[in-house]
A and B are shown apart, each in its own frame.
Chain A
Amino acid sequence: MPIDFLPVFLMVAVVVVLSVFILTLSRLIRPNNPYPEKNRPYECGVDHVGEASAGLFKVQYFVIAILFVVFDVETMFLFPWAVVLQDMGMFGYIEMLVFIVLLLVGFAYAWIKGALEWVS
């Protein structure tokens, strides 16, 4: 029922209020001193060479980002699984094992293919 979702809406409200508060507060108390280097987009410590849409950019960024997301999502599944593992027993344990083994197959593939090598 709608009332059950009250905590969700409260959460949304808190997030909005808090972020507005922090941004306003820092705007008021911080010194304002922009200079060119500071305004440059940050690109993982590599000198930026222009717009991404204007030319070629290293595909390795993309590959590493994708691999990061895969394992990020894996952790996202691992935490709730760990919380309810006691109730799920053997079945839950085996299920997660299968999941991780399948991920490892993909990881081994990516590794052997050289997706983790940084060619500069």
Chain B
Amino acid sequence: MDLTVIKSSVLASGPEIIVILGACVALMLSLVPRPGQGRLLAGLSLLMIALAAMMSLSLGQYPQTAYAGMFVVDSFSTYLKMLLYLGTALTILMSTSYLTAENVAKGEYYVLLLFALSGAMIMVSGTDLLIIYIGIELQALSIYVLVGFLTTNTRSNEAALKYVILGAFSSGLLLFGLSLFYGLTGTTQLDVMSEVLDVADTSSPLLALATMFLLAGLLFKVGAVPFHMWVPDIYEGAPSPVTGFMSTVGKIAAFAVVLRVLMLDLVVLDPIWRNSLIVVTVLTLGTGSLAALVQTNIKRMLAYSSIAHAGFLMLGLLAGGSDGIASVCLYLLVFTVMNLGVFAVIILLNRGADQGEPIEAFTGLARSHPGLALITMIFLLSLAGIPPTGGFFAKFYVLVALIEANHVVLAVIAVLFSAVSAWFYLRIIMLMYMGETDHPAKVQITSSMGLALIVTLIGTVLTGVLPAWFLSVAQAATEGGLG
């Protein structure tokens, strides 16, 4: 390979390189503790994310493949990378005060967030199964450590250990599926693989086995039933900003891989996975919505709620076609802002990780902090999917795509479970506005936290007011991906 090819490859992966370099610099800086280090590293991380975002935006206009076809820059990956930057930046904004309050303000936190971000970016841009796998591992390994970041908290330690074991197990499943695909097609590169599979016999049992392993591994990462057991425990034990990060950035990256592998490149496998995915989707919607009803810990409740949202995202996959993919892309954007918004409120209401995060912490919030309660209500209404918030339109477009693809029964089931799930969001709103308590929450909103709240609020409201514009952006991204 000559120098120009190397140059163009390095340029195409510029955002990833910027983020990784930033992480390395932050790692070195974290070795010299000094006062105000947390702010310095948070600022550095935000700067690196901003640089990477600018580079991604300018690269997105020139679709190209790099590293001998293992890495791609197109509008689909650029759109999802923007979501990843947004999610990570918001997480960083929320973290500073939380880390100080929990007395774990260490520089490594930001380093790990940046490494997790770069792993997620590689997952989004990878077009080779091995590259995607490396991205998944880089992201997962960083998050394992972040989950256990409250080193003196037993719940955090337990969650980290559980996550490592289950994560390793699911990686094993995924890797086994990948190795079968390599054995069947003789390549790990998705475009070559789809050419080979086009002429292959899709009824071969070995291909079905490979697809099932691949699907199971990916569904583990997404947190779909019956591979959801880890989600509530780990969401509950992890530090709250990390939970927010996992539920948004982790989910975006996992769905990016699912979309890229199953919907864009290996569409041929559709008849193999469709029926099992329908079953998984209905189970995911049902379990997520029903189990969330009985939770008393807010993070556990949001874990089940995010399982239910994953079910909705999978409905978009089942709808298929460019409409289905675009609806998933839009859903991921809306979910990122509204979910991180709720997590910002949870972090504000945090009374120490040892106390847990009981739902009762919201009681009487409207009396002591009416503004904050109003913002929280908007986030919760959006999560429940009530107009005119972004959450409504996210669900709406998924259902439209689903009905256009003639899956009316699925759409009806989804609406029913969505109505069930509205209850547990409304319960928090009731607690905030009607609950009486002697100890109403006293919160102090720092400037970075205020910024995070404003951004998530604007995102949630704007996607509700201008849904058509955001959908057109998502559609443009999808068209680029379908190439």
Contact check, B28 vs A94: say whether CB atoms are below 8 A apart.
no
**Chain A residues, Cβ within 8 Å of B20:** 102
Q: Closest CB of chain B to A60's CB: distance in Å?
A: 17
Q: Is B6 at the interface (CB under 8 A from chain A)?
A: yes
**Chain B residues, Cβ within 8 Å of A49:** none
Contact check, B3 vs A90: say whether CB atoms are below 8 A apart.
yes
Q: Closest CB of chain B to A117's CB: distance in Å?
A: 15
Q: Is B409 at the interface (CB under 8 A from chain A)?
A: no
Q: Is B290 at the interface (CB under 8 A from chain A)?
A: no
**Chain A residues, Cβ within 8 Å of B27:** 105-106, 109
The A-contacting residues of B in range 8-30, CB under 8 angstroms, are: 20, 24, 27-28
Chain A 63-98 near chain B by CB (<8 Å), digits 1 or 0 = 000000000000000000000000011110010000
Residue of A nearest to B32 (CB): A112
Q: Closest CB of chain B to A18's CB: distance in Å?
A: 27
Contact check, A91 vs B1: say whether CB atoms are below 8 A apart.
yes
A60 to B392, CA, bound (A): 53
Contact check, B6 vs A102: say whether CB atoms are below 8 A apart.
no
Tally the A-B contacts, defined by beta carbons under 8 Å: 21
Q: Is B294 at the interface (CB under 8 A from chain A)?
A: no
A114 to B28, CA, bound (A): 14
Contact check, B1 vs A109: say whether CB atoms are below 8 A apart.
no
A89 to B1, CA, bound (A): 7
A96 to B31, CA, bound (A): 26
Contact check, B31 vs A102: say whether CB atoms are below 8 A apart.
no
A94 to B31, CA, bound (A): 28
**Chain B residues, Cβ within 8 Å of A88:** 1
**Chain A residues, Cβ within 8 Å of B28:** 105, 108-109
Evaluate whether A94 and B6 lie within 8 angstroms (CB atoms) in the complex, with A89-B1, A113-B31 already known: yes
Which of A88, A106, A109 is the most central at the interface, judged by chain B CB atoms within 10 Å of its CB?
A: A109
Contact check, A109 vs B31: say whether CB atoms are below 8 A apart.
yes
Q: Closest CB of chain A to B182's CB: distance in Å?
A: 13
Chain B 52-81 near chain A by CB (<8 Å), digits 1 or 0 = 000000000000000000000000000000
Q: Closest CB of chain B to A3's CB: distance in Å?
A: 14
**Chain B residues, Cβ within 8 Å of A113:** 31
**Chain A residues, Cβ within 8 Å of B3:** 90
Q: Please list 21 pairs of residues, one from A and one from B, whose beta carbons are closer than 8 Å in the complex, sorted by A's number.
A: A88-B1, A89-B1, A90-B1, A90-B3, A90-B6, A91-B1, A91-B5, A91-B6, A94-B6, A102-B20, A102-B24, A105-B24, A105-B27, A105-B28, A106-B27, A108-B28, A109-B27, A109-B28, A109-B31, A112-B31, A113-B31
Binding site for A on B (CB under 8 A): 1, 3, 5-6, 20, 24, 27-28, 31
- Having A102-B20, A113-B31, one finds 12 other A-B pairs with CB under 8 Å, namely A89-B1, A90-B1, A90-B3, A91-B1, A102-B24, A105-B24, A105-B27, A105-B28, A106-B27, A108-B28, A109-B28, A109-B31
- What 9 A-B pairs come out closest when comparing CB atoms? A91-B1, A105-B24, A112-B31, A91-B6, A109-B27, A105-B27, A109-B31, A89-B1, A94-B6
